[in-house]
Structure 1
Amino acid sequence: MLKPRRYLLISLASAIVAACLWWWMRPGATVNSASVPHSYTKALEQAHNGQPGAARVLYQQLARTDLSDIRRASLHAELPNYPSPQALKLADADLQHPSPLVREAAIQSIVGLVPNAQRTLLLGPILDDTEQSVRFAAANALLGLSPDEQGLYFGPLQHVIDEYERALKTQPDSAQAQGQLARLYLHEGQLDDAQAALEKVTHLEPDNLKAVVARVELLDKRGETDKARALLAQQLQAKPDSAYLQHALGIWLLNHGQTEYALLGLAKAVELEPDNSDYRYKLAIALHDLEQLEAAQRQLEELLQRQPSNRKARVLLIRYWKESGQLQNVQVLLAQLEQQNPDDPALQQGL
């Protein structure tokens, strides 16, 4: 009787072990499936914060085929900070994605990754996209290019711009549509039409500051510089705490060769919106143009403290550190850039 009892105990023990193994293995599948969204979230965080390995995990996520459209578009928003042949390949591939949202996000990635002339070669074919919103996004991305840069796509671009204008005209009660229409008219040199569209924007939204700045541009194109300056001054007197208007004043003064005075507006804009990377970047360039190299470096350092992933600011700061001969700082920034993205063209070119 001892042997049968022993066999029974052994059998029970084996069953318990098997049950335990099944129990421990079962949650593994659940954890594995839950790790997919977690890896996306972690990758997006790494890319947004400019952490080591950011480019690698960003590319890995964009190589997936199971992401939702909104998540894929969110990844594209980070991609221009991590340029490489692989990044360009991923962005180019998503120009053919089934989702219009993703195709539009890929267009913005291309704008951030590629110089003007090359951009036309990639985005020109998208002017024939089946989705109207995608065609319009491609046209917007190519709008500021010269006819030479538009190349063979000059004709197709004009066709889409005409289509875009017709679509915007059907939205007379939309301030956003009328503002975009004014931008197209300004680009085409149709100044009277641009003025009429801007008047509609102001009627619909009296405090629309983008319309104010567009009116300043319109006055400049008409050669009415004094009126443009007076309009900016009037608006700033009414809204002195508007970072947008302060920045616009600084840019206007820069464009008119008054860099020293421009600093006041640009610096005020940064003071009012310290987290605005575009404002701080422009201020740094203006300071550098006035040979205030240390002040320009400080602005870029502060920008990178607030936004470590900002490649444009990092590359410019490397250049400024080189100018001042502080090669140790150059090496630190290059090492950080290599940790973020070892395939960055700036590293390959020996910046």
Structure 2
Amino acid sequence: MPRHRHYLIAVLLLILVSVVIGYLSRSEAPTAPTLPPHSYAKALRMAHNGQPGAARVLYQQLQRNDLAPIRRAALYAELANYPSPKALELAKLDLQHDEPLVRRAAIASIRQLLPATQRSLVLGPLLDDDDQSVRFAAVDALLGLDPDAIGLYFGPLQQALDQFQQALEAQPEDPAAQIHLARLYLHEHDYQRADAALQRSLKASPESLEALATQVRLLERQGQHDASRQVLGKALALQPDSAFLQHQLGLWLTRHDQHEYALLAFSRAVELQPDDPDYRYALALTLHQLEQVEAAQKQLETVLSRQPANRKARLLLIQYWKETGQLQNVQVLLAELERQNPDDPILQQGL
């Protein structure tokens, strides 16, 4: 092959290499760092289990913009155990999220993060949301606030509540919808309509325990205490091993200042369903009411041993330890909380 052809081939190769290198090294706008695929599952697991650093990784995940809506909503189910200014900031941002599922999840989280007096200012604007389900979630979150707390949103709340009731009235065959409707009417002291909704629910699902519990409350609100007790008694006679009904019996007895008997019902509920933290929490409250503080503390310790992230149980146990002057135990609980969430507001209060 002639020498000039060798030179030509060499020049072409150099040009080709230069083009390839230029393409590979071309200047691009920096992209946001991505987290490894397992980081979401790890963060969710850490938050659920109350592991050290849980709040930090939970917040990191909520700052991502590439999560599927259902995954983002799952993070909000854990956020209430990790309150802080940052948590509230993230939840507020997602009130503007494109997906209604995420907006509803953020509403549910803010409902727990904010006290009643501050809730309407944040959630009130959602009463005019384009999505009906979001408007109704805002109604549920604001229902029960006094007019002063609702403030300027009193009118929009009443309007959205009317729409909510109309939507539920249009689902007479849906027992869950009718229970929800009955509770809305119960809140408004419209007992006749509440009863009608409950009857529709019970007709569609005669064994619904939620409907029975709501019926008990409805009768109590009308001053029919004997009738409410009979409804609960009949249900328990049919299902004596129902932890839910035993718990409801304990609540009924508590409302009627029969704490000694309530203790028996709550204890039975825990015995039947030992993994339910709400049942143990109610039992701890009743034990404390009866001045059995050590037993109450043990119930809360059991909750935390199984659910270290349970902030409500942790704060109540801290209160009980303080009452008995066992400040070393308080320090242990606060230290664990600080490892989970160093920005928790309770840590600012100290001992």
Structure 2 counterpart of 1:175:
175
Verify: 1:338 aligned to 2:326, yes or no.
no
Instruction: Name the amino acid aligned to 1:300.
Output: L
Structure 2 counterpart of 1:84:
84
Structure 2 counterpart of 1:15:
none
Q: In the aligned structure 2, how far is the partner of 1:41 from the partner of 1:82?
A: 17
Segment drifting more, 73-82 vs 145-154: 145-154
Verify: 1:301 aligned to 2:301, yes or no.
yes
> How far is the alpha carbon of 1:35 from its aligned partner?
5.5
Q: How does 1:106-255 map to 2 (within 5 A)?
A: 106-255=106-255
1:215-240, CA deviations, whole angstroms, 9 ceiling, x for partnerless residues?
Answer: 11111111111111111111111111
Secondary structure of 2:47's counterpart equals helix
Verify: 1:283 aligned to 2:246, yes or no.
no
Q: In the aligned structure 1, how far is the partner of 2:240 from the partner of 2:277?
A: 20
Q: In the aligned structure 2, how far is the partner of 1:148 from the partner of 1:251?
A: 29
1:229-284, CA deviations, whole angstroms, 9 ceiling, x for partnerless residues?
Answer: 11111111111111111111111111111111111111111111111111111111
Q: In the aligned structure 1, how far is the partner of 2:66 from the partner of 2:189?
A: 45
Instruction: Name the amino acid aligned to 2:328.
Output: Q
Structure 1 counterpart of 2:271:
271
Structure 1 counterpart of 2:57:
57
1:277-299, CA deviations, whole angstroms, 9 ceiling, x for partnerless residues?
Answer: 11111111111111110011000
Secondary structure of 2:80's counterpart equals helix
> How far is the alpha carbon of 1:346 from its aligned partner?
0.4
Identity rate, percent: 63
Secondary structure of 2:286's counterpart equals helix
Note the residue ranges of structure 2 that are not aligned, 5 or more in a row.
1-32
Instruction: Name the amino acid aligned to 1:214.
Output: T
Q: In the aligned structure 1, how far is the partner of 2:132 from the partner of 2:317?
A: 40
Instruction: Name the amino acid aligned to 1:259.
Output: H
1:123-147, CA deviations, whole angstroms, 9 ceiling, x for partnerless residues?
Answer: 1111011100000001011112222
Instruction: Name the amino acid aligned to 2:143.
Output: L
> How far is the alpha carbon of 1:149 from its aligned partner?
2.1
> How far is the alpha carbon of 1:193 from its aligned partner?
0.8
Instruction: Name the amino acid aligned to 1:224.
Output: Q
Q: In the aligned structure 1, how far is the partner of 2:181 from the partner of 2:108?
A: 20
Q: In the aligned structure 2, how far is the partner of 1:284 from the partner of 1:173?
A: 39
Return the TM-score normalized by structure 2.
Answer: 0.89
Q: In the aligned structure 2, how far is the partner of 1:148 from the partner of 1:290?
A: 35
1:306-326, CA deviations, whole angstroms, 9 ceiling, x for partnerless residues?
Answer: 111001111111111111111
Structure 1 counterpart of 2:3:
none
1:299-348, CA deviations, whole angstroms, 9 ceiling, x for partnerless residues?
Answer: 00000011110011111111111111111111111110000000000001
Q: In the aligned structure 1, how far is the partner of 2:150 from the partner of 2:34?
A: 46
Q: In the aligned structure 2, how far is the partner of 1:147 from the partner of 1:283?
A: 33
CA distance change for structure 1 residues 89 and 34 in 2, over 3 Å: closer, same or farther?
closer
Secondary structure of 1:66's counterpart equals coil
Segment drifting more, 295-304 vs 322-331: 322-331
Q: In the aligned structure 2, how far is the partner of 1:149 from the partner of 1:283?
A: 31
Q: In the aligned structure 1, how far is the partner of 2:37 from the partner of 2:239?
A: 44
Secondary structure of 2:36's counterpart equals helix
Return the TM-score normalized by structure 1.
Answer: 0.89
Runs of 4+ in 1 over 6 A off after TM superposition: none
Number of aligned residue pairs: give it. 319
Q: In the aligned structure 1, how far is the partner of 2:219 from the partner of 2:272?
A: 27
Note the residue ranges of structure 1 that are not aligned, 5 or more in a row.
1-32
1:40-61, CA deviations, whole angstroms, 9 ceiling, x for partnerless residues?
Answer: 1111110000000000000011
Q: In the aligned structure 1, how far is the partner of 2:137 from the partner of 2:40?
A: 26
Verify: 1:94 aligned to 2:106, yes or no.
no
Q: In the aligned structure 2, how far is the partner of 1:78 from the partner of 1:210?
A: 25
Secondary structure of 1:180's counterpart equals helix
What is the aligned-residue RMSD (CA, Å)? Answer: 1.2
> How far is the alpha carbon of 1:99 from its aligned partner?
0.6
1:176-226, CA deviations, whole angstroms, 9 ceiling, x for partnerless residues?
Answer: 111111111111111111111111111100100111011111111111111
Counting helix residues as a fraction of each chain, which structure ranks higher? 1
> How far is the alpha carbon of 1:34 from its aligned partner?
9.4
